[in-house]
Structure 1
Amino acid sequence: MSLFEYAGGAPAFQALAAALHERCLADPVLNHPFSHPGQHPQHVERLGWYLAEVFGGPPAYSQAAGTHFGMLDLHARQGADDDLGERFVRCFVLACDDAGLPADPAFRAALRDYMTWAAADVMQYSPPGSQVPADVRMPRWTWEGAVDRTRRR
């Protein structure tokens, strides 16, 4: 069973995205990137699609919203605070509770491990002038971790 299925499918990841967004808006450092006026009107829904796809769900994000490269490039070159990634992971872990995701320790560890990796992935392109490689692929995460973190198109 995939992490997507175990979580409760698309509704669970939409609830997680909404809870994560709320947590980030309440954080004094994360508030700015999550409340800027140019944010896509479907940001929360797209975040849910993205997370669902990563954890074994359908490719809704890739088909309707873009690529992993596009997501990374959108967040690149922001000169983010050094602790932004850690703050985001903390908000994510708490949002899992807020969204009512299963509390199974192995499930939660897999989610946390992904988000720790993902935050580091985003943060590596934060310095001004950073370039995201055009051939990065959408990550896939299972109970055992990344399917292949180095995989390119």
Structure 2
Amino acid sequence: MKNTPTLYDWVGGNETLENLTKVFYEKVLHDDLLEPVFKNMSAVHTKHVAHFIAEVFGGPPLYTQGDDGSHGKMVAHHVGKLLSEEQRKRWIALLLQSVDELQLADDPEFRSALVAYLEWGSRIAVINSKLTDNPLQQDAPMPKWGWGVPGGPYIPEE
């Protein structure tokens, strides 16, 4: 594919990701395992997470510029939270349930890239949640996530 879209473009951009995180965190706040972790989240938390994912997926730097965030600042939010593997798995399950409910791009390549990112990011969050100090500088660069191999969305030949 000559002009491979970013994951951000493929999923539908910022509006789609903001809607996803809104739907997702509504589920989280009604989940007995995850609600205690997120019950005190700020009113703008869902947008910050959407902006973070958007930037990681190749979208505009809304998180680093508009939200004054960085990868280091995102990691700092997890330090000391003592997240469990059970919580991590539930977090992913609810997020993927939300993706399915919203009927977001469900082709195998996008789903693979999304799940790979969620697995990577949630495992990093659990590791960092066991720490007492942030292992990253506050201005650590944002991770960048792409299609991986074979490299692009599946588009059937007509």
Name the TM-score, length of structure 1 as normaliser: 0.85
Is the Cα contact below 8 Å between 1:69 and 1:136 reproduced in 2? yes
CA deviation string 1:11-69 (max 9, x = no partner): 11111111221221222111112212xx2221111111111111111000111221111
CA deviation string 1:61-80 (max 9, x = no partner): 11122111111111111122
CA RMSD of aligned residues (A): 1.6
Between stretches 126-135 and 115-124, larger displacement belongs to 126-135
Identity %: 29
Amino acid at match of 1:131: N
Point out where structure 1 has 5 or more consecutive residues left out of the alignment.
Answer: 146-153
Is the Cα contact below 8 Å between 1:53 and 1:60 reproduced in 2? yes
Bigger Cα Rg: 2
Runs of 4+ in structure 1 deviating by more than 3 angstroms, as ranges, are none
Q: How many residues align?
A: 143
- Show the counterpart of 1:149: none
Point out where structure 2 has 5 or more consecutive residues left out of the alignment.
Answer: 150-158
Q: Indicate whether 1:133 and 2:136 are aligned.
A: yes
- Show the counterpart of 1:114: 117
Is the Cα contact below 8 Å between 2:7 and 2:147 reproduced in 1? yes
Name the TM-score, length of structure 2 as normaliser: 0.83
Amino acid at match of 1:57: G
Per-residue deviation, 1:130: 4.3
Distance 1:128 1:5 in 2: 35
